[in-house]
Structure 1
Amino acid sequence: MRMKPSRNLLLGLCSILALGFLYYSSGRINIRGWSHNSLYDKQGFLLKLDRQPLELMYKYGNLSEGACKPGFAAAKMTAIYPKFTKLAPMFLDPNYKRFSKIGDYSPPFGVKSQEKIVDILLSATQNYGLGEELDSTYCKTCIIVGNGGILANKSLGSRIDEFDVVVRLNEAPVKGFEKDVGSKTTMRITYPEGAIQKTERYETQSLFVLSAFKALDFKWLRHMVFNQRLRSTDGFWKSVARYVPREPSDMRILNPYFIQEASFKLIGLPHNNGQMGRGNIPTLGTVAITMALHNCDEVAVAGFGYNMSTPYAPLHYYEKIRMSAIKESWTHNISKEKEFLLKLVKAGVIQDRTNGICGAGC
């Protein structure tokens, strides 16, 4: 004999179906309300930057004061940006083609159509790291020294020199400014138009690192590596260095993945079909910070941040140009870039030694 389902069972099934429908419907109406995505902004960063895992406090809280914290920057970055992955070497090496992401894009976001000249350059330099001592250092502290006028009269030089890796940008001088900016330079990241032109202004020892923003930059580096005369400067937007007083073994090519990641993922600049366009190129300082997050255990910055409310303040620490000289940039989006850097400072991913990124806001 067939058993009839009980009235209570039918009521229970109906209730479950009704609740499921309501859950599904409300999710369709306001999917963010039911999803963990509501915890993150559109770039994938945690909205509440103070909500970070307790295990980080337990892992690093017992270390002695001043001791380098292994993996700290990457751990903090992953806590606020779960999509972060650490495997991205500073410089291109002969195995760079394993990074399909850079093979898919032309400069500045990749090396597409430039593989032949990159191979020539890498075979000439034959070195692809920071050097034997630093490459074998278990825990590396890095500082990116920006060129901002905020560095002036801060007497941070000796503290900057305490870092394992000191990164400088473009032609910012050291000689004569040691009290404020230090005397140590591990690497100087630049591009043809930003490179030091007077050879006597180069440090006696440092890595010369090219950040290529266009195909022509690789050709320029070939002239520098092979010490060839640069016959023409057509295609450059201003004068360029014609000689770099460095051996090929001290020259490197910055991994263009950092430009790509900073622009499209971290800051959220226009993709523009993977081509350089209006407002989609990060500043070299932010590119250097992105590089450090992947390769350094602790990351600090100094000399970052422009305060537009002080138009008569010096723009750079080494010259008298005022803040008011800043014009709207065609290639950069300074406001969006600052939003990104603020996240890093507020979450403690990086330390800002001159407090120029937050000002009084942190």
Structure 2
Amino acid sequence: MQKALGLVGLVFTCCMLLYVVLWINLHEKWTGIKGIVVSSGILWEATHKHIDGHTLINKTIITSALDLSSFRTTSLSKEENPSYSTELEASITPIPVLYKKNFMKLPEWEFEDVYLQDHQTRITTCPKSLHNTKDPKFREVVLPNIQLWLYRGQLSITEWNRLAHFNNPFGFMEYNYNEIKVVVDLIPKPKSSILLTVPGSAKDGCIRCAVVGCGGILNNSKMGKEIDSHDYVFRVNGALTKGFEKDVGSKTSVYVHTAYSLYASLQRFRQYGYDRIPQDKGIKYVMIPEGLRDFQWLQGLLQGKEATGSFKGVRPLKFFNGHFNESIFYVLHPDFLRYIRNRFMASNQLQDNTWAMYRPTNGAFALFLAIHTCDIVDAYGYITKDHHKYSNYYFERFKKTNVIFYTNHDYGLEIKMWNKLHNTGIISLYQRQENLNTTKT
């Protein structure tokens, strides 16, 4: 009997030792694996408060969730990352679904400021590049190699368990793993993670970009020729140019949208002549996966079928009029979107019970995409502090509407941010107040 008890004790001790060794190994993979960026989380905008404290229920959920996602990999396969373990991945299950209603403000996880990084990012040779800025605060928070794109093969269960802690569009909180994974696995991997190349005519190696919003400040601005003179032009939402070329130009190189903004803009702005999305030769389409309806749209688009859910009966492919090609289509990664919110656009609204409604505008994401893609960025049609002088949209010639400050965006914060980026020389913001020293000429 004593021998039997001794044998059981020995087996138990060995098991405990094995458990400790495995735990240490997994912890090292979590903290030191290639592809992870851990930062101080200091926000660039000094007036923004770092998220602090949680209610008791928040702390309870955070602890239990971390127990189930204590490690992760960033690879797509064993060949690309030897640390990847198929056996280990197979033994993990998705964490219990987290619900936004259980949090009275934005929950901050231990890995809130952890992001995938991309080792194929372009190294600029442009002497005037915004990436050469001397601004210490910008240099401290910017991640030039942040992962921009979401595509097939990225969404392992361990990766899901990390992203499932963040609300959409910054992650997959409240979503079903299988429902999202089947769509992500349809998204083509870009041949190159570099969105735009240096033009052959650019002897200085610089990529010059214009980012054009829909703001009424462009009405009668006569900025069209200047906008089109850039190497690349980003546009968003209702990117109407026909009939407004003198003010906004005619060229579109990158069109940034959500499923809803693409669909609704065509319905809402048809009265102004907007009857199709931009379809320029060589154009790149960049989609912001805003919510579940975007993944339903994506599935229909990439399978050439009708969408389901919110877009039931709609065939997304028809909106591209035969110009859709997987090689020119990109989907922004939740890490990039969360990084922009956390480090540049952290609204005070994240501290109250409407936290889950807030996200930066499509125009904000497009502008920061350009900042991470181009060397010289000029912004046109973006909201300024004197926005009340202008119509909501530049194409409103007769019936003018005002900007409405909806809860889901923080326009006050965006006004301050665009001005700050302008004053520090990161971008050049088009403004029409002739009496200001910061006015773009």
Per the TM superposition, whether the score is higher than 0.5 is yes
Task: With a CA cutoff of 8 Å and minimum separation of 6, indicate the structure with the bigger relative contact order.
Answer: 1
Residues 223 and 249 in structure 2, CA contact (< 8 A), matched pair in contact too: yes
* 1:219 aligned partner, one-letter code: Q
Work out the CA distance in 2 between the residues paired with 1:305 and 1:225. Answer: 34
Q: 1:329 aligns with which of 403, 406, 423?
A: 406
- Residues 227, 233 of structure 2: 8 Å contact kept: yes
Relative to structure 1, is the Cα distance of residues 106 and 145 closer, same or farther in structure 2, using a 3 angstrom cutoff? same
CA distance in 2, matches of 1:107, 1:277: 8
Residue 9 of structure 2 corresponds to which residue in structure 1? none
3-state SS in 2 of match to 1:122: coil
In structure 1, distance between residues paired with 2:364 and 2:47 = 20
Instruction: Kindly state the Cα deviation for residue 361 of structure 1 after the two structures are TM-superposed.
Output: 7.0
Matched residues in 2 for 1:294 and 1:273: separation? 30
CA distance in 1, matches of 2:433, 2:366: 15
1:117 paired to 2:183: yes
In the other structure, the counterpart of 1:107 is 168
Identity among equivalent pairs (%): 21
Go from structure 1 to structure 2 and tell me whether the alpha carbon gap of 1:85 and 1:79 turns closer, same or farther (over 3 Å shift).
same
Residue 105 of structure 1 aligns to which amino acid in structure 2? Answer: F
1:355 to 431, 437, 441: 431
Q: Give the CA RMSD over aligned residues.
A: 4.0
The equivalent of 1:220 in structure 2 is: 297
2:146 maps to which residue? 88
Structure 2, unaligned runs of 5 or more: 1-41, 51-124, 267-273
SS of residue in 1 equivalent to 2:185: helix
Give, in whole Å, the separation in 2 of the partners of 1:359 and 1:254: 39
SS in structure 2 opposite 1:120?
Answer: coil
Match of 1:187 in 2: 254
Shift of 1:97: 6.0
- Cα 1:133/1:219, change in 2 over 3 Å: farther
Instruction: Output one character per residue of 1:209-262: Cα deviation in whole Å (capped at 9) or x when no partner.
Output: 211110220220221233212365369xxx996733222322211233342123
CA contact (8 A) 1:199 1:244 kept: no
1-structure distance, mates of 2:164, 2:134: 26
Between the aligned partners of 1:228 and 1:323, the Cα distance in structure 2 is 38
- Check conservation: 2:129, 2:206, Cα contact below 8 A: no
- C-alpha distance in structure 2 between counterparts of 1:207 and 1:86, whole Å: 20
Higher mean displacement: 266-275 or 140-149: 266-275
Q: Distance in 1 between matches of 2:199 and 2:212?
A: 19
| Aligned length in residues | 295
CA contact under 8 A between 2:276 and 2:319: conserved in structure 1?
A: no
Q: Which of the numbers 337, 342, 345 marks the counterpart of 1:267?
A: 345
Letter of the 1:167 counterpart: F
What residue is the counterpart of 2:85 in the other structure? none
Whichever residue aligns with residue 210 of structure 1, its letter is M
What is the aligned partner in structure 2 of residue 79 from structure 1?
136
Q: Give CA deviations for 1:69-111 in whole Å, capped at 9, x if unaligned.
A: 4472123275332222211244334575699775753420135
Q: Deviations over 1:139-183 (max 9, x none)?
A: 312221011111122222222122222100012212222222122
Paired position in structure 2 for 1:203: 279
Q: Give the conservation status (yes or no) of the 8 Å contact 2:297–2:311.
A: no
TM-score (norm 2): 0.57
Distance 2:353 2:326 in 1: 31
What's the offset of the Cα at 1:120?
1.4
**1:173 and 1:141, CA in 2 relative to 1: closer, same or farther beyond 3 A?**
same
Contact 1:264–1:271 under 8 Å retained in 2: no
Q: Which residue of 1 aligns with 2:225?
A: 158
CA shift digits 1:297-326 (9 cap, x unpaired): 11110111253442xx32211234766533
Contact 1:175-1:201 within 8 A present in 2 as well: no
* Pairs within 5 Å for 1:1-362: 41-43=46-48, 69-70=126-127, 72-76=129-133, 79-81=136-138, 82-94=140-152, 104-110=165-171, 113=177, 114-122=180-188, 129-130=194-195, 138-195=205-262, 197=266, 200-205=276-281, 206-230=283-307, 233=310, 243-245=318-320, 246-269=324-347, 270-271=349-350, 277-278=356-357, 280-306=358-384, 307-310=386-389, 313-320=390-397, 324-352=401-429, 354-355=430-431, 360=436, 362=438
SS in 2 for 1:168: strand
Distance 1:343-1:179 versus aligned 2 partners, 3 A rule: same
Measured in 2, the distance between the counterparts of 1:234 and 1:200 equals 18
In the aligned structure 2, how far is the partner of 1:275 from the partner of 1:109? 16
Counterpart in the other structure of 1:53: none
Cα displacement string for residues 160-209 of structure 1 (whole angstroms, at most 9, x for unaligned residues)? 12222210001221222222212221111111221154764532432222
Alignment match, 1:61: none
1:151, 1:315 → 2: CA distance?
Answer: 10
1:241 and 1:219 map into 2 onto residues whose CA distance is 10
Q: What is the alpha-carbon distance in structure 1 between the residues aligned to residue 285 and residue 255 of structure 2?
A: 5
Mapped contact 1:158–1:182 kept (Cα < 8 A): yes
Q: Secondary structure, in 3 states, of the residue corresponding to 2:285? A: strand
Q: C-alpha deviations, 1:312-354, integer Å up to 9, x for none?
A: x3221123476653323020111122112211011111011x2
- Distance in 1 (alpha carbons) for counterparts of 2:240 and 2:363: 16
* Whole-angstrom CA distance in 2 between matches of 1:309 and 1:325: 7
TM-score computed with the length of structure 1 as normaliser: 0.68
